[in-house]
Amino acid sequence: QKEVEQDPGPLSVPEGAIVSLNCTYSNSAFQYFMWYRQYSRKGPELLMYTYSSGNKEDGRFTAQVDKSSKYISLFIRDSQPSDSATYLCANVAWKGGSEKLVFGKGTKLTVNP
């Protein structure tokens, strides 16, 4: 089983919709959970991170972690066409004495005007 699983989509929603993006992970040692956003033909950029369980809100974005079910979510409220991108979840793993990020495969989101 891959350490981080993510539904690749694609996901297409109308402008203004609430979007829910989800990942599951297998390594219970993960503590840091991140969401990256990647626009077409660009490198990924960090959108949000959370530490351990709970919610974290940043404007229209909410990241949620449920460690008991090993489930992480990103909610986008009032979605905009500018939110159209691929969203990747990631966890931090320590291997060989240094930190590495383990990424999900990414979910491609299109928000239609």
User: Considering the rule CB under 8 A, would residue 32 count as an interface residue with another protein?
Assistant: yes
Region of 9-17, 19-27, 65-73, 88-96 interacting with another protein (CB under 8 A): 88-96
**Shortest CB 113 distance to another protein, Å:** 26
Please select the residue that binds another protein; options are 21, 24, 37, 44, rule is CB under 8 A. 44
Residue 26 corresponds to which amino acid? S
Stretch of residues binding another protein (CB under 8 A), selected from 11-19, 44-52, 66-74, 76-84: 44-52
CA dist., res. 105 & res. 35, Å (int): 12
Rounded distance between C-alpha atoms, residue 23 and residue 42, angstroms: 22
Cβ atoms < 10 Å from Cβ of 103: 18
Burial class (CB in 10 A: 0-12, 13-18, 19+), 14: exposed
Kindly state whether residue 46 participates in binding another protein, applying the rule CB under 8 A: yes
Classify 111 in phi/psi space as left (phi over 0), alpha (psi -120 to 50) or beta: beta
Of 24, 74, 76, 104, which one interacts with another protein (CB under 8 A)? Answer: 104
Site for another protein in 2-21 (CB under 8 A): 6, 8
Binding site for another protein (CB under 8 A): 6, 8, 32, 34, 36, 41-46, 49, 88, 90, 92, 96-101, 103-106
